Amino acid sequence: MMVLEYCERGDLRNCLNELNESNSFMSCKVKLGVLRNIARGLLNIHNAGLIHKDFHSGNILFNNSVYPMISDLGMCQPANNKKQEGVYGVLPYVAPEVLCGYQYTKAADIYSFGIIMNEYMSENIPYVDIPHDHILAVKICKGFRPEIPKVTPKLIADLIIKCWDSKAENRPTAKELYQSLEKLQDGTSDHSIFNNAENSYNETNNKEDNYYFQVKKWDIIREEKLRSKFEKNKEYIAKNIQTHPQAIYTSRLLNLENLPKPVNSTFQGILYICVFFFFF
C-alpha cells in the first residue's frame, strides 16, 4: 500500500479556475515560478533516467501552496525501454512523433510541457472547442498548435514554440528548460538580465521590444481584464468557449494510423491572438 499526500487544490487547471472564481490575479513572475518548479520536477524525473509518458495539466497537482507536484507516474518508464504497442495519453499533449508511432523520448515530455506552459500562461485549454480525433492528430503532425496570445512576452512565446517544435532534436532538454525559465523569472524584476541589443531598452530603440517592459504590460493587461470582467462577460465567455463533447482530457488509448510525417507550420511564431479568453 502507498500513502500519498492529498492535494486539496486539485490539478493545474482547477487552480486556474479557483483563481478566476476568486478574482485573484497571478503575475507573470509568479506564473513563471510555478512553471520553473514544474520543470524542476520533470528534470528530476529525466535525471533518474525516466520518462513520464503521460504529462499533461491534469497530472500537475497542488496542495495549499503554489508549489506543483507531478503525479500519475504509472506510465513512467526507463528512457531506454522500447515503445509499447499503441499510444496512450491525452491527445493535445502528445508529441507528434509519438502519434506517428515513434518511440517515446524525453523530448516528448518537453513537447507536453510546451502545451502546458501555454495553457498556464494564456489560461486557454488546448483545442477545447474541437473534437480530439484523427483529424486533430493529422493537424498536429502538420504543425497545428494552440494559439499564443499576442501580448505574451516574446521570449516566453519563443520558449513555448521551441518546446513544441515538431522536430524532437530542436526542443530544449529539461535542464535547459529549467535554466531558461529561471532566467525568464529573474528578468521580470531585473531589466538588466536581458541587457542586449535585441531585448534592452534605451533611447535608440523601442521599449516594446524589451522583455522587462513586455512583462509589465502583460501584468497590466491581465489585471485590467480581471477587474473589468462583468457578469454579462462571464456569461458570454462561458457560452462561446464550451468544451466540445468530443474534446477528451483524460488519458486513453489513441488508435491513430496513417498520420503524416511531423513538420512545423510555416505560420508558427506569428500566430498570436490579440484578445485573452478565460476558459472557465
pLDDT tens digit string along 245-273? 999 999 999 988 889 999 997 655 444 44
Find which of 15-19, 150-154, 223-227 is predicted with most confidence, using mean pLDDT: 150-154
Average pLDDT over residues 138-142: 97
Percent residues over pLDDT 90 in the chain: 60
Domain boundaries, the chain: 10-273
Instruction: Look at residue 219 and tell me whether its pLDDT is greater than 70.
Output: yes
Largest distance between two CA atoms of the chain: 64
Model pLDDT for residues 25-64, shown as the tens digit of each residue: 899 999 999 999 999 999 999 999 999 999 999 999 998 7
In which band, very low, low, confident or very high, does the pLDDT at 78 lie, cut at 50, 70 and 90? Answer: confident
What is the structure's pLDDT at 200? 45
Between residues 205 and 93, which one has the greater pLDDT?
A: 93
Residue showing cell 515560478? 33
Between residues 131 and 228, which one has the greater pLDDT?
A: 131
What is the structure's pLDDT at 269? 46
Q: What is the mean pLDDT of the chain?
A: 84
pTM of the model: 0.86
Instruction: Look at residue 210 and tell me whether its pLDDT is greater than 60.
Output: yes
Instruction: Look at residue 204 and tell me whether its pLDDT is greater than 60.
Output: no
Chosen CATH of 10-273 out of 2.60.40.10, 1.10.10.60, 2.30.110.10, 1.10.510.10: 1.10.510.10
In which band, very low, low, confident or very high, does the pLDDT at 225 lie, cut at 50, 70 and 90? Answer: confident
What is the structure's pLDDT at 258? 86
Instruction: Look at residue 278 and tell me whether its pLDDT is greater than 50.
Output: no
What is the structure's pLDDT at 150? 92
In which band, very low, low, confident or very high, does the pLDDT at 196 lie, cut at 50, 70 and 90? Answer: low
3-state secondary structure string across 248-272: CCCCEEECCCCCCCCCCCCCCCCCE
Instruction: Look at residue 175 and tell me whether its pLDDT is greater than 80.
Output: yes
